[in-house]
Amino acid sequence: MTHQELRTLWTSFWEKKAHKLVSPAPLVLQNDPTTLFTSSGMQPLIPYLNGEAHPLGKKLYNIQLCFRAVDIDEVGNNRHTTFFEMMGNWSLGDYFKEEQLGWIWEFFTQELKLPKEKLYVSVFEGEGEVFADHESVKIWKKLGVADDHIHFYGSDKNWWSRSGPPNKMPVGEIGGPDSEVFYDFGEDLKIHENSPFKEKECHPNCDCGRFLEIGNSVFIQYKKSANGSLTELPQKNVDYGGGLERILAAVNNDPDIFKTDVFSSIIRIIEVETGISYDKSEKKAEMRVIADHMKAAVFMIVSGVIPSNKEQGYMLRRLLRRAAIKTRSVSGDLPVKLFISVGNAVLTIYDGYDGINKKEQETLVASVISNEMNKFSQSLDNGLKYFNKYEKVDEKIAFDLFQNFGFPFEVTQELVEEKGYSLDPTRFNEHYESHKNQSRTASAGTFKGGLADQSEQVLKYHTATHLLHQALRDVLGPSVRQEGSNITGERLRFDFFVDKKPDTDAFKKVEQIINEKIAEKLSVECKILPKKEAEKIGALYFFKEKYGDEVKVYFVGDYSKEFCGGPHVQNTGEIGSIKITKVKKIGSNLMRIYAQ
Ligand code: SER
């Protein structure tokens, strides 16, 4: 079966069941301060699972592009990827377990014709205030699932929320027990023979590779309350998700999802470009990582992400650099041509689907990939030389590799694992933090608070920066957050985050407000306040900075209040006037303003 055929079957199945297609969310999120990527189909539906009325009704379905960074270390086996398509259906307080499990069973056994004897199911065994899910067991049995194909597990396996089991759910998070379906590829599989589990008794969740989870019906009916207990939501919901790539593997009865048609042409190109056969080589895991990461990277690039050291851009950079390191390990080389061909293959597979237009995007994809790979290949050679100088690389050396050669931590971790040992991420972070503190102290004397010096002009620009910060929030909304500032006698520079694209006239308004506040000749005053009180009165602060218990807050009239070390002018009238000379985008949701 092809992925297009599977998508069509999913769509027509739910149309027949009177469900409405809800548009998938973008893979790369711009307006969600809690997360960078969509990682499940339910994410955009949270308000509706909580009880808000959905404009399309109570029965929904779709296929959602997802990215899960948490699975990055698992990629390399037969079934894990960071990027995947999730086929989902939802009941927003409409039907519940009986219909859901019946329909999913019907989809698997009648639409996809998966043999019943190859399907296993799991149910929640109960924990704390939530009882074992005997209701689902009864339904599965009624559908014809044999007793020994039904397995109970605890909240580590059969509970779903975005944050995991109940004890990890933050206040307000929703979730519930779930029931999964697994496909059995058979005991005699080589993958099972080779697995560390081969001496142990196998079961659907044993992770040996014999069983593949192909669908998860979550019964979202609880919310974490402030006292730590779970309270019932106003409605009982169903949230189902099944990975398209995994379901295809089950339909094709081949446990390797990299053999499905959403991967096979990518793997083929890696084989051609490296001259290594996927099936025969010991580098299968590396080839899978390259295929997965490059696919995720292409989807990020077409969504407008460019490699950088921040947020989505940093994830893209990590994916490309991890793919580069794996390619080096497969072929001994870093052929940029390989990455461009793989990028093209990804566009070919998905051409015309969910934001992909090969003809329009291939130049962009090729140039982003080749720029980043060329940049990295220079430091990679030098970094590997540095790496190879040491008999044993420790966390300090891993930090040097990060700092000087752009090796993300996990890249060094991959490299050392090949030599049979591993690094401690906490110790790596200690080096990282200590470096940050040192550079903060070192720059404090020369560039305190982003000021080049204490000259009259710099002080004027500094106060103007506070007016700018508040004016940006007035015009663009409270998502505006300072990311950095740099002030010289010539100009002020201010970097900030904003959750939406500003209108063309937004910065004119900002400039006008600043000049009005200058004309009002507002006095500038400083108070030392307990940090809690300063936060309570709504003083703005630079979120990357660590503050003590007592902080200095600068008030500009009653217009702006901000945590700040100073110094400033005494009255805004001294500033004269301010003109915004340049505004540019410096990253996703990040902008830089210059003013004089
Ligand atoms: N939310 C569940 C998951 O992501 C089912 O859709 O697995």
| Confidence band of 112 (pLDDT split at 50, 70, 90) | very high
- Over residues 203-212, the pLDDT tens digits come to 999 888 889 9
**Number of other CB atoms surrounding residue 458 within 10 Å:** 18
Query: Distance between CA 463 and CA 451 in Å, rounded?
Result: 11
| Confidence band of 441 (pLDDT split at 50, 70, 90) | very low
175 C-beta closer than 6 A to ligand 1:
no
What is the whole-number distance in angstroms between the Cα of residue 303 and the centre of ligand 1? 23
The pTM for the full model equals 0.72
Percent of all residues in the chain with a pLDDT value above 70, rounded to a whole number: 93
- Scored b (16 or more CB within 10 A) or e, 197-208 reads eeeeebbbbeeb
- Mutation pick for ligand 1 pocket among 63, 85, 92, 239 (CB with most ligand atoms within 8 Å): 239
Question: What integer pLDDT is reported at residue 123 of this predicted model?
Answer: 98
| Confidence band of 442 (pLDDT split at 50, 70, 90) | very low
What is the whole-number distance in angstroms between the Cα of residue 216 and the centre of ligand 1? 6
- Over residues 351-377, the pLDDT tens digits come to 999 999 999 999 999 999 999 998 888
Fold of 3-257: BirA Bifunctional Protein; domain 2 (3.30.930)
176 C-beta closer than 6 A to ligand 1:
no
| Confidence band of 333 (pLDDT split at 50, 70, 90) | confident
Query: Distance between CA 553 and CA 495 in Å, rounded?
Result: 20
Give, using CA atoms, the residue closest to atom 7 of ligand 1: 241
Q: What is the mean pLDDT of residues 177-187?
A: 95
**Strand, helix or coil for residue 573:** helix
Give, using CA atoms, the residue closest to atom 6 of ligand 1: 241
Distances in whole angstroms, Cα of residue 180 to Cα of each of 171, 214, 218, 373, 549: 26, 8, 8, 40, 49
Query: Distance between CA 156 and CA 339 in Å, rounded?
Result: 38
Report whether 472 contacts 479 (CB < 8 A): no
**Number of other CB atoms surrounding residue 61 within 10 Å:** 20
Q: What is the mean pLDDT of residues 44-51?
A: 89
Domain boundaries, the chain: 3-257, 263-444, 456-595
Question: What integer pLDDT is reported at residue 149 of this predicted model?
Answer: 97
Same fold? 3-257, 456-595: no
- Mutation pick for ligand 1 pocket among 35, 39, 42 (CB with most ligand atoms within 8 Å): 42
Amino acid (1-letter code) at residue 166:
P
- Over residues 212-258, the pLDDT tens digits come to 999 999 999 999 998 999 999 999 999 999 999 999 999 999 999 99
90 C-beta closer than 6 A to ligand 1:
no
Where is pLDDT greater, at 417 or 450? Answer: 417
CATH code for 456-595?
Answer: 3.30.980.10
Question: What integer pLDDT is reported at residue 574 of this predicted model?
Answer: 92
502 prior amide bond cis, ω within 30: no
209 C-beta closer than 6 A to ligand 1:
no
41 C-beta closer than 6 A to ligand 1:
yes
